Amino acid sequence: MSTRENLITQAALLLDKGGDAAVTLRAVAHAVGVSHNAPYRHFKDRNALLAAIAERDFRMLALAFEGTRLGDAEPIQRLKEALGLFIQYGRDYPARYRLLFSDPGIGAAGGSLEAAALKAFTAFAGLVEDAQSTGALPPTPTRELAGLIYATAHGLVDLQAGGRMREQKGLSAAEQGVALLLLLLGAS
């Protein structure tokens, strides 16, 4: 593993363990075992390092969605599996999830990070399109339908991660909300 990749990996682990505040270039350098100035040879600043984590994780999500799309299950089942992966990612890596989907600096970064995020969404949209082709989802414009499903799943993950999902509000888990949405859209 290159030093750059090792820095990204260690920064992601620090993010997982201690949240956003735990990720400093000095702490990452210490975790990798390099000088405190070494990260600056690979990243302009802390924001660039955080963007590298986000880009790597968006690429990972794209690969997971693409792999799911190649599965043998019916298209709607593959979409449900991909949504399950998305929800599980949010549950397993809450700080990274917030970085990818709630950090305004990441959202405005552009460049290769934006391309990686779009690739993940495009892979997800492919799953939606496959489900539409079998009649399991309505024949509305695919990109808009994929955006609605993606945004709804994100909102449900965010509610659950923040401890704001209650049975009294009608939902007890993100999976339940996604299943209800797909049911309402015509996917049994």
At 127, list the tokens. 């799953």
What is the tens place of the pLDDT at every residue in 24-56? 999 999 999 999 999 999 999 999 999 999 999
- The residue length of the chain stands at 188
Q: Three-state DSSP class for 69?
A: helix
Q: What is the pLDDT of residues 73-113, one digit of tens each?
A: 999 999 999 999 999 999 999 999 999 998 777 777 778 99
- Hunting for tokens 């963007």 — which residue is that? 51
Identify which of 70, 69, 100, 94 has the alpha carbon closest to the alpha carbon of residue 82: 69
Tokens encoding 150: 């993606």
Higher pLDDT, 106 or 182: 182
Neighbours of 166 (CB within 10 A): 10
Distances (CA, A) of 177 to 28, 42, 150: 37, 41, 12
- Residue 152 token pair: 């709804």
Q: Which residues contact 42 (CB under 8 A, 6 or more apart)?
A: 3, 4, 7
User: Minimal CA–CA distance to 58: which of 34, 87, 30, 86?
Assistant: 86
- The token pair at 168 is 């009294």
> What is the per-residue pLDDT across 117-133, written as a single tens digit (0 to 9) for each?
999 999 999 999 999 99
Higher pLDDT among residues 108 and 147, named by residue: 147
Label residues 21-33 b or e (16+ Cβ within 10 Å = b).
eebebebbbeebe
Sequence-distant (≥ 6) Cβ neighbours of residue 143 within 8 angstroms? 125
* Distances, alpha carbon 13 to alpha carbons 26, 32, 39, 57, 136, in Å: 14, 11, 16, 12, 39
Question: Domains plus CATH for the chain?
Answer: 1-43 (1.10.10), 53-184 (1.10.357.10)
Q: What's the pTM?
A: 0.92
